């Protein structure tokens, strides 16, 4: 579903991605972790074409994202992305947040778009809030709406970039629950997160990044249970993060 092949990227002289390669199959859930500044967000942005790369190739399904001729708007509508900061439109109520891109980008008739929106709001348990504005919702509720909004576009894959790291602790669970449900339904997902409980329970594989490189890419059981086989950097990282 997603193929990242020998991708390198520079910001000026700074090499932010260093020869990264990875494959994500349909229905797979891959967790990406690593220290702050290691290039996780940049890698996510290159997958849906938000950031260009100087070397290598990225494919999503049949689309070569890194090909200059590719129409990225079409691709982006099929690659759902949920960021750390829920970027809902503040001036639109929840329902309209979900309807807008469906009618504008997918050209869905309004009635159909609304029906789809309500169905998805039900799935993230936000049906009762359809008339509310984002500013009146908690962070966890906003993030669940953001997930539903992405799903309204019928994405082939979903990319999550630290979707729970800006949330108060008591709201993390409700967002992870929505993501787990999505994983169980077979959605192809790449999730940047330090929620190792989620990684353990839901992921198929864990990718560990450090200084722009993919240092580890292994089945989750190997990542967590066979610590002695991991690189020193990955072990250091795990020791730190699992102490919390």
Ligand X SMILES: Nc1ncnc2c1ncn2[C@@H]1O[C@H](COP(=O)(O)OP(=O)(O)O)[C@@H](O)[C@H]1O
Candidates 26, 27, 37, 231: give the one binding ligand X (CB under 6 A): 37
Which listed option, Mg ion, ligand X, none, makes contact with residue 39 (CB within 5 to 8 Å by class)? ligand X
Binding flag, residue 159, ligand X (CB under 6 A): no
Q: Is the CB of 40 or the CB of 114 nearer to Mg ion?
A: 40
Our finding on whether 163 is near ligand X (CB under 6 A) is no
Supply the minimum distance, in Å, between the C-beta of residue 43 and ligand X: 7
> Considering only 19-27, 40-48, 65-73, 81-89, which stretch makes contact with ligand X by CB under 6 A?
40-48
Binding of ligand X by 42 (CB under 6 A): yes
41 binds Mg ion (CB under 5 A): yes
Q: Select the residue interacting with ligand X from 24, 28, 33, 40 (CB under 6 A).
A: 40
Per rule CB under 6 A, is residue 240 in the interface with ligand X? no
Q: Rule CB under 5 A: is residue 193 a binding residue for Mg ion?
A: no
- The residues that bridge with 31 in the sheet, in sequence order, are 191, 206
Among 174, 162, 166, 177, residue whose Cα is nearest residue 81: 162
Find the helix packing angle between 139-151 and 94-104, rounded to 10°.
Answer: 20
DSSP strand pairing (2-11 vs 14-24): antiparallel
Least Cβ distance, residue 44 to ligand X (angstroms): 8
**DSSP sequence for 200-218:** HHH-SEEEEEETTEEEEEE
**Per rule CB under 6 A, is residue 11 in the interface with ligand X?**
yes
What does the binding site for Mg ion look like in residue numbers (CB under 5 A)?
40-41
């Amino acid at each position: 579903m997603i193929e990242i092949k020998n991708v390198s990227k520079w910001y000026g002289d700074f090499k932010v991605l260093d020869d990264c390669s990875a494959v994500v199959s349909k229905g797979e859930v891959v967790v990406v972790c690593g220290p702050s500044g290691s290039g996780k967000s940049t890698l996510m942005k290159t997958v849906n074409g938000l950031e260009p790369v100087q070397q290598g190739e990225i494919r999503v399904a049949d689309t070569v994202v890194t090909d200059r001729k590719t129409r990225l708007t079409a691709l982006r509508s099929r690659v759902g992305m949920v960021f750390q900061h829920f970027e809902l439109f503040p001036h639109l109520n929840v329902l309209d947040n979900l309807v807008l891109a469906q009618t504008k980008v997918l050209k869905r008739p309004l009635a159909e778009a609304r029906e789809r929106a309500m169905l998805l709001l039900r799935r993230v348990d936000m049906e009762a809030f359809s008339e509310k504005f984002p500013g009146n919702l908690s962070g966890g509720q906003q993030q669940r709406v953001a997930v539903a909004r992405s799903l309204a576009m019928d994405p082939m894959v979903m990319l999550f970039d630290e979707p729970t790291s800006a949330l108060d602790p008591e709201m993390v669970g409700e967002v992870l629950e929505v993501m787990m449900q999505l994983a169980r339904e077979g959605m192809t997902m790449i999730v940047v997160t330090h929620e190792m409980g989620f990684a353990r329970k839901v992921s198929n594989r864990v990718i560990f990044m450090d200084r722009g490189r993919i240092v580890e890419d292994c089945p989750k059981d190997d990542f967590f249970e066979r610590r002695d086989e991991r690189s020193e950097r990955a072990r250091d990282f795990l020791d730190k993060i699992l102490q919390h």
